[in-house]
A and B are shown apart, each in its own frame.
Chain A
Amino acid sequence: MNAVSKTKKSLFADTSVSKAPVMSREGSVSIHEETTGSKAVKYLLIGISVLFLFVMLVLPLITVITEAFKKGFGEYFKAISDPDTASAVTLTLKATVIAVLFNTVFGVFAAWAVTKFRFKGKKILVTLIDLPVTVSPIIAGLIYVLTFGRQSTIYPFLEEHGLEVVYAVPGIILATVFVTFPFISREIIPVLEAQGTDEEEAAAMMGADGFTIFRRITFPHIKWALLYGIVLCSARAMGEFGAVSVLSGHLRGKTVTLPLHVEILFGDNKFMPAFAVSSILVLLAVMILIIRSIVEYIGKDRG
């Protein structure tokens, strides 16, 4: 078990929106203060950090908002109420909801299988679950094109049944599910691993069935991790660009998600509308960061 948890830890560190740094931050500050060096160094380092984050993170956000409202509110609302934008919002929401539902079901079952039982090949299973986040989005798109595209062995079958995947909505949804695949399982697995299996074993020996055990014992432990995973999964799903771009075909009003819509507008030199549509995504991103902080805070509070 030890070995497994070690590898897992290292894999999970990838794209580490980690919950690790939450603990003991406040308490340690005062102790360190004296050993931290002179005030000058302190203010210099804080200054560098603030400047760096301002130029790299804050300015791009401000740019989106100022560019979006450059021509006034009227033009802004015209840009975001465009029918193409509306269809992009719908498709993005659709892909995001499906990805979250799919990966939640997967995450819960996979976490249960990985943490409650011992079996051979667990390491390989965990590695495979994590694989999608280590692959470049473009390559993720490529492997779906190879699977469902014209040269694929199953293409005649798909064609016969009128199933379009590449350059169609199913492809976009599959790509979104792929890039967010481990997002929920990898939040739940560490929590369940830390919790152990004693409680579930006791319940099982007292005659509780699997669903009751899950509902009454396991679920209360994982609900914050699950929520956290869902937040991260939604963030990535709505913003996915590369993989979706490969599979989309960019058919306006049909296979264009919000990020792709931004790309098309920007490519057509329609900068103001591109930023107006971006502002929707910025708003969602900021909301996700806030929800993330709240979930992290409450989750930490309640253990």
Chain B
Amino acid sequence: MGKKSRIIPGFGLSMGVTLSMLALIVLIPLASLVIFTAKLTPSEILEVITRKRVLASFEVTFITALIASLINAVMGVVLAWVLVRYDFPFKRLMDGMIELPFALPTAVAGISLTSLYADTGAVGKIFAKFGIKIAYTRIGITVALVFIGIPFVVRSVQPVLEKLDPLYEEAAGILGANKSQIFRKVILPELSPAIFTGFGLAFGRCLGEYGSVVFIAGNQPFKTEITPLIIMSELQEYDYSSATAIALVMLLAAFVILFLVNLIQIRNSKILGGGH
């Protein structure tokens, strides 16, 4: 594509429209975040983000997001495996259902999971018999985050598994490897970049998730209060400095995760991409 460009008309127009819309929606708001941040002193930011309640919310948010993403990493591989390798009735339906968490508004998921997992709910009742409370605890938050994160690992592992040549598994089998050895030593290494990618994307999404979590969390300070909720309440009290300081931590975490995911994917596409 190294030809002398601009044979095709419309560069100025399309670039102009693109940049002005981008400026209006993304760049100007982003710039105001930067400007506002510049007004804060480092000690101010540090004071806000080391408040006990804020630190507790980081703990709740990171731990629940991590556990939920780990559960999704495992279940995502199982689901992708089942969808790619097996044939059974209603497989297409199951495949289409995976995306439900993207299509269903988070608030609806939130209230529905809450009533389902509360002590009086259909699932919560069963656990309540064993003295396990789900809704209004960290377990409840994790359940909501698992719901939100389902599609990520499945959709990143699925295409890789589809392209995986069964030849290597057959070869390993002929060489005497048993099923679990084949899975661990032949299949898993091929899938691991995709699993990490899906895990990273799910983790990033879980850190920022709000709608599905606020209902089931119970929102008790120090116990089940997530960071996005703290930002929300600071905003409602017009304390923009605190809200921004906490948001910066979350943004930083999101960018680090995104950066790592991109790193893995670039490496991955170099290895797997081949001719493309």
Contact = CB atoms under 8 A, between A and B. Distances in A.
Interface of A: 1, 6-7, 9-11, 13-18, 20-21, 23-25, 28-29, 31-33, 35-38, 41-42, 45-46, 48-50, 52-53, 55-61, 63-64, 67, 102, 105-106, 109-110, 112-114, 116-119, 125, 128-129, 131-132, 134-139, 141-147, 149-153, 174, 177-178, 181, 196-197, 200-201, 204-205, 209-210, 213-214, 232, 235-236, 238-242, 245-246, 258-260, 262-263, 266, 271, 274-275, 278, 281-282, 285-286, 288-290, 292-293
Interface string B230-253: 011001001010011001001100
A241 B96 contact: no
A125 to B, nearest CB: 8
B108 interface: yes
Contact of B113 (A36, A60, A137): A60
Contact of B103 (A67, A149, A235): A235
Contacts of B204: 14, 134
Contacts of A17: 99, 102, 151, 155
B94 A50 contact: yes
A292 B99 contact: yes
B50 to A, nearest CB: 20
Contact of A145 (B7, B30, B240, B251): B240
Interface in B196-245: 197, 201, 204-205, 207-211, 215, 228, 231-232, 235, 238, 240, 243-244
Nearest to A59: B116
Contacts of A271: 115
A14 B262 CA distance: 10
Interface in B252-276: 254-255, 258, 261-262, 265-266, 269, 273
A50 B24 CA distance: 45
A10 B111 contact: no
Q: Which 3 A-B pairs have the closest CB atoms?
A: A136-B208, A239-B105, A241-B211
9 contacts: A10-B262, A21-B155, A57-B147, A60-B109, A137-B228, A241-B107, A242-B228, A275-B111, A285-B100
A210 B13 contact: yes
Given A57-B147, A112-B14, A138-B228, A6 B101 contact: no
Given A15-B102, A282-B108, A181 B158 contact: no
Given A63-B116, A112-B10, A174-B25, A146 B111 contact: no
B75 interface: yes
B21 A106 contact: yes
B42 interface: no
B265 to A, nearest CB: 4
B123 interface: yes
Interface in B72-101: 75, 78-79, 81-82, 84-88, 92, 94, 96-101
Given A53-B94, A60-B109, A136 B201 contact: no
B8 A201 contact: yes
B111 A266 contact: yes
Main secondary structure of the interface of A (DSSP, over half): helix
Nearest to B229: A138
B162 interface: yes
A140 B146 CA distance: 23
Given A102-B21, A113-B15, A132-B26, A28 B10 contact: no
B27 interface: yes
A259 B112 contact: no
Contacts of A28: 84, 162
B59 interface: no
A135 B204 CA distance: 9
A1 B243 CA distance: 40
B100 A48 contact: no
Which of B14, B87, B121, B146 has most chain A Cβ within 10 Å?
Answer: B14
Nearest to B28: A147
B159 to A, nearest CB: 4
Contacts of B273: 6
Which of A35, A42, A144 has most chain B Cβ within 10 Å?
Answer: A35
A134 B250 CA distance: 11
Contacts of B7: 201, 204-205
A139 B207 CA distance: 11
Interface in B103-138: 103-109, 111-113, 115-116, 121-123
A274 B265 CA distance: 42
A153 B39 CA distance: 13
A289 B112 contact: no
Given A53-B97, A116-B8, A135 B208 contact: yes
A150 B269 contact: no
B152 interface: yes
Contacts of B25: 132, 174, 177-178, 181
Given A15-B205, A56-B150, A128 B104 contact: no
B29 A144 contact: yes
A2 to B, nearest CB: 9
A262 B8 contact: no
Contacts of A105: 17, 21
A262 B108 contact: yes
Nearest to B173: A35
